[in-house]
A and B are shown apart, each in its own frame.
Chain A
Amino acid sequence: MAQRTYLQAISDGLREEMRRDERVFVMGEDVGAFGGAFKVTDGLLEEFGAERVRDTPIAEAGIIGTAVGAAIAGLRPVCEMQFADFIACGFDQLVNVAAKMHYRLGLAVPLTVRLPSGGGFSGGPFHSQNPEAWFMHAPGLKVLAPSTPQDAKGMLAAAIRDPNPVVFLEHKHLYRRVRDEVPDGAYATQPRARLAREGTDATVIAYGAMVHAALEAAGGIDASVEVLDLRSLVPLDEEAILASVRRTSKVLVLDEANRTCAAGAQVASLIADRGFEDLDAPVRRLATPDVPIPFSPPLEQAVLPSVDAIGEAIRELLAY
C-alpha cells in the first residue's frame, strides 16, 4: 500500500490495466508528451508508446466515435475528455452510437470515457459541470463516480474491464486534495454503494466530491449521521440506499450537479417509491441551483453546496 492522491490513483489504475491487457489504450487531447491537461496520463507515453497513448485532434465526436470503432474491433479504448464539459461535443456519439449499439444490434462497445468534472476552483461555466444526469438518462451507459483514491483506481479498472460503454466521472477538485492508502497492483472494485460513515439518526447520500463535504459536515454534528457513497449512478445500488433508509429513517440527498433531474432526484424518487414506510421525515435534497457555474469565487461558493449548508440541512432534518 502506498499513499496516493486521487489523481495518482487514477493514473496508476490506467497504467496497471494497460500492463495487464494489451488491448487497452488511451486517447485524448494532449494525453501524450504533455501528460494530459491534469497530468493523469503523465509517463504513459514513455512506457507504452504513441500507438497506445494517442494524442488526438480537437474533435470530441471523433474521439468517442473512433473509440466506438476500436472497441467494436476488439480493443479497449479509454478516452479522456480534457474537461467533462466538452463531452457535449461528443454527446451524440455516446448516447446514440455507443449506448444503443448492444440493444439494437447485439454489438458490445467496451469503452471508457474519463470525464474530469465538477467545480470549486473558479473554472467558470465551461469547466465546472457535473454532466452525469445527461448519461443516466441514456440507456446503455454505465455511470461511475469514485470519491476516494482507492476507489478511483479500482473502479477505473472495473470500467475498463466492463464490456459496455462506461462514463467515468473523476472529480477534478479531488485530484490533488485527497490522498489515501491505495493497494499496489491491479484490482477492480465492484461499484456498489459504500458506507463512508455509519450512523443511526440520519443518512446523507452523496457521490464524488460531495462525499467529502458530507463527511465533514457530519463530523461537526452532535448526532449519529450515516454517509452513503453511491460510487455508481448506473447501475444504482438501490438495495444499499433502501437499507440505509431503514436504519436511519431520515435522508438528505446531496448533489453537486444542478438540481433539476440530477442523480439525487432519482435517489429521492426511489426512496419515495420504495422506502416511504421507513421514513420519519420528508426526503430532503441539497444541490446546486439551476444556474451555470459562475467564475468569481464568492459567486461560485454561493451556488455549490457548502459544508455549512449541508450541516444546516442535516440539523433541520434531525429536528423534524
Chain B
Amino acid sequence: MAVLELADAREPDLLQDADRLGLLRHMLAMRAVEERALKLYKQGRIPGSMYDGRGQEAISVAATWALAGADAVCSPLIRDLGAHLVRGTDLADIFRHYMGRRNPLSQGREGNVHFGDRRRGVVGMVSMLPDMMVVAVGLAMAFRMRGEQRCALTFFGDGATSRGDWHEAMNWAALDKLPVVFVLENNQMAYSTPTARQFAVDPVHRAAGYGIQACTVDGNDPEAVFGAVWHARRRALAGEGPTLVEAVTMRMHGHGAHDDARYVDPELVRTWSLRDPIDLFGARMRGRGADVVALSAEVDAEVEAAVQAALATPMADPATATDGVFCTAEPEPLGTGPSRYSGYAGAA
C-alpha cells in the first residue's frame, strides 16, 4: 500500500478565494478565542484546566473545511477548536461552556473543548485517547449501511497512536473499506513525551501495514491540509476506504495552561515559530489582496462581544446537576437537525 505523494494530495485549485478567506477567518478566530480563554483562565474565570491549539490552527480548520455539512466530525480534540468554529458553533456559547455557565452545548457538565453539537454533525470528545476513533468508524459503518454519501473524520495526536483502540480502529476501517478520514496531528509531543519515546515505527508507515493509504502534509499550511483531506474524502466516498492524513506541526507551548514546557528544546520552538500558520497564510492572503488587519479586527470584536455575553450569563443551575443521565425521548440522529452548518461548497 503506497504512501500517497504529497503533490497528489494537494489540489489547491479546488479552493476559491472565498474559501481561502474562510480558512483565514476561522484560523484567526481560533487563535483569538484561545488567547482570550487563556486570559480568562488566568483570571480564574475559567475553572479547571485550559488546553489550546495555538500554532495548530491550520489543521482542524482546513480539515473540517474540506468536508460537506453532512459529514461527521468525531471528534475535535483539545487542539481542534477550529472544527467547531467551521461548523458554526456560537462563540458566546463556547465561552459559556468554558466558564461553566448556562449553555446549550454542555449545560455546565463539561469543560474545555469537550463539547459537540448533534445538529452540526459534531460529536464531542471523551478524554480517553483515542477512543473516538472507533466511534468514528462506527459512524462510517452506519453511513455505509444506509447507503449515504457521508464520511466521518476523526482527529488524534501522535501520542494517541500507541493505544489499543487506535489499532482496532485502523484494522476495522481497513477491513470494511469504510469511509473514514483519520487526521493525525503530529505535533511531536505527547504531554512531555516526544515521538521518539512514543513509537518505533511511524504511524504513516504503520498505516500501510493495516492496508490504509496515508500521506504526510505540512500541518502549518491550511491549503495542504485541505487538499489532503479533500482527497481522502473523495476516496472514502468512492468506496476506496480510509485514509490517514498526517499533518506535521509543532506544539508551541505547554500541554495546557499549567505546563511551562521546560522539557522542550527552545531552539526547536524558535524555528517553528518562524512558520506560524497564521503569519504564513496571512502573508499569502495579503499577496492576494486580502485586508488581513481588518479581518483580524472584525474577528477580535466578535470574540470580545461573545466574552461579554458569556460573562453576563449566570452559572449553571445546581438544581440540574443530576438531570439527564438517561435519555427519555426518541433520539434524533447526528446531523439531521434544522440548523445550517457550514461545509465545503465543492465537497458534494
A96 at the interface (CB under 8 A from B): yes
Scan residues 135-171 of chain B and give those whose CB is less than 8 A from a CB of chain A: 135-143, 145-146, 152, 164-165, 168-169, 171
In the complex, the answer to whether B110 meets A105 with C-beta atoms within 8 Å is: yes
Alpha-carbon gap, A23 to B169, bound state (A): 23
| Count of interface residues, chain B, beta-carbon cutoff 8 Å | 51
The 8 A CB mask of B56-92 against A (1 = contact, 0 = none) is 0000000000000000101000000000000000000
In the complex, the answer to whether A104 meets B331 with C-beta atoms within 8 Å is: no
Given A92-B128, A97-B131, CB of A163 within 8 Å of CB of B325 = no
B347 at the interface (CB under 8 A from A): no
In the complex, the answer to whether B137 meets A66 with C-beta atoms within 8 Å is: yes
B312 at the interface (CB under 8 A from A): no
Alpha-carbon gap, A77 to B110, bound state (A): 27
Q: Which residue of A lies closest to B333 (CB)?
A: A74
Q: Which residue of A lies closest to B326 (CB)?
A: A164
Scan residues 199-258 of chain B and give those whose CB is less than 8 A from a CB of chain A: none
Given A69-B141, A69-B142, A74-B334, CB of A105 within 8 Å of CB of B134 = no
Q: Which residue of B lies closest to A161 (CB)?
A: B330
In the complex, the answer to whether B331 meets A61 with C-beta atoms within 8 Å is: no
CB distance from A317 to the nearest CB of B (A): 35
In the complex, the answer to whether B137 meets A69 with C-beta atoms within 8 Å is: yes
CB distance from A182 to the nearest CB of B (A): 27
In the complex, the answer to whether A72 meets B168 with C-beta atoms within 8 Å is: no
Scan residues 44-102 of chain A and give those whose CB is less than 8 A from a CB of chain B: 51-52, 56-57, 59, 61-62, 64-75, 77, 92-93, 96-97, 100, 102
- Please pick, from B105, B115, B172, B325, the residue contacting A62 in the complex, using a CB distance under 8 A: B172
CB distance from A199 to the nearest CB of B (A): 33
The interface residues of chain A lying within 8 Å CB-to-CB of B135 are 65-66, 68-69, 72, 97
Alpha-carbon gap, A105 to B172, bound state (A): 26
In the complex, the answer to whether A69 meets B139 with C-beta atoms within 8 Å is: yes
The interface residues of chain A lying within 8 Å CB-to-CB of B275 are none
B10 at the interface (CB under 8 A from A): no
- Please pick, from B109, B328, B333, the residue contacting A72 in the complex, using a CB distance under 8 A: B333
The interface residues of chain A lying within 8 Å CB-to-CB of B333 are 72-74
In the complex, the answer to whether B325 meets A140 with C-beta atoms within 8 Å is: yes
In the complex, the answer to whether B134 meets A61 with C-beta atoms within 8 Å is: yes
In the complex, the answer to whether A65 meets B327 with C-beta atoms within 8 Å is: no
Given A100-B126, A164-B327, CB of A72 within 8 Å of CB of B106 = no
A311 at the interface (CB under 8 A from B): no
B294 at the interface (CB under 8 A from A): no
A220 at the interface (CB under 8 A from B): no
Q: Which residue of A lies closest to B142 (CB)?
A: A73
Alpha-carbon gap, A97 to B136, bound state (A): 12
In the complex, the answer to whether B131 meets A70 with C-beta atoms within 8 Å is: no
A110 at the interface (CB under 8 A from B): yes
- Please pick, from A25, A68, A73, A140, the residue contacting B143 in the complex, using a CB distance under 8 A: A73
In the complex, the answer to whether B106 meets A105 with C-beta atoms within 8 Å is: yes
A241 at the interface (CB under 8 A from B): no
In the complex, the answer to whether A69 meets B138 with C-beta atoms within 8 Å is: yes
In the complex, the answer to whether B142 meets A65 with C-beta atoms within 8 Å is: no
Alpha-carbon gap, A57 to B141, bound state (A): 14
Q: Which residue of B lies closest to A139 (CB)?
A: B325
CB distance from A227 to the nearest CB of B (A): 29
A320 at the interface (CB under 8 A from B): no
Given A69-B141, A97-B128, CB of A110 within 8 Å of CB of B331 = yes
Q: Which residue of A lies closest to B127 (CB)?
A: A96
CB distance from A19 to the nearest CB of B (A): 17
In the complex, the answer to whether B118 meets A65 with C-beta atoms within 8 Å is: no
Query: Which of B115, B138, B141 has the most A CB atoms < 10 Å from its CB?
Result: B138
Q: Which residue of A lies closest to B178 (CB)?
A: A66
A172 at the interface (CB under 8 A from B): no
CB distance from A162 to the nearest CB of B (A): 8
- Please pick, from B141, B169, B324, the residue contacting A106 in the complex, using a CB distance under 8 A: B324
A108 at the interface (CB under 8 A from B): yes
- Please pick, from B131, B171, B327, the residue contacting A96 in the complex, using a CB distance under 8 A: B131
CB distance from B293 to the nearest CB of A (A): 37
Query: Which of B74, B114, B136, B139 has the most A CB atoms < 10 Å from its CB?
Result: B139
Alpha-carbon gap, A142 to B327, bound state (A): 11
The interface residues of chain A lying within 8 Å CB-to-CB of B132 are 97
In the complex, the answer to whether A97 meets B126 with C-beta atoms within 8 Å is: yes
Alpha-carbon gap, A65 to B105, bound state (A): 22
The interface residues of chain A lying within 8 Å CB-to-CB of B136 are 69
- Please pick, from A62, A67, A102, A110, the residue contacting B168 in the complex, using a CB distance under 8 A: A62
CB distance from B21 to the nearest CB of A (A): 31
Scan residues 125-169 of chain A and give those whose CB is less than 8 A from a CB of chain B: 139-140, 142, 163-164
In the complex, the answer to whether A66 meets B138 with C-beta atoms within 8 Å is: yes
Scan residues 90-132 of chain B and give those whose CB is less than 8 A from a CB of chain A: 105-107, 109-110, 114-116, 118, 123-124, 126-128, 131-132
Scan residues 15-65 of chain A and give those whose CB is less than 8 A from a CB of chain B: 25, 51-52, 56-57, 59, 61-62, 64-65
With A57-B172, A73-B72, A110-B331 already in contact, 13 other A-B pairs whose C-beta atoms are closer than 8 Å? A62-B168, A65-B165, A65-B169, A69-B139, A72-B123, A72-B334, A74-B142, A75-B142, A96-B126, A97-B131, A103-B325, A104-B106, A107-B331
By Cβ-Cβ distance, the 7 closest A-B pairs, closest first, are A69-B138, A74-B333, A65-B134, A108-B331, A66-B138, A73-B142, A62-B168
The contact sample of 28 A-B pairs, CB cut-off 8 A, is: A61-B165, A62-B165, A65-B133, A66-B135, A66-B138, A69-B138, A69-B140, A69-B142, A69-B152, A70-B138, A75-B142, A75-B145, A77-B138, A92-B128, A93-B165, A96-B126, A97-B132, A100-B126, A102-B325, A103-B324, A104-B106, A105-B105, A105-B106, A107-B118, A107-B124, A107-B331, A108-B327, A163-B329
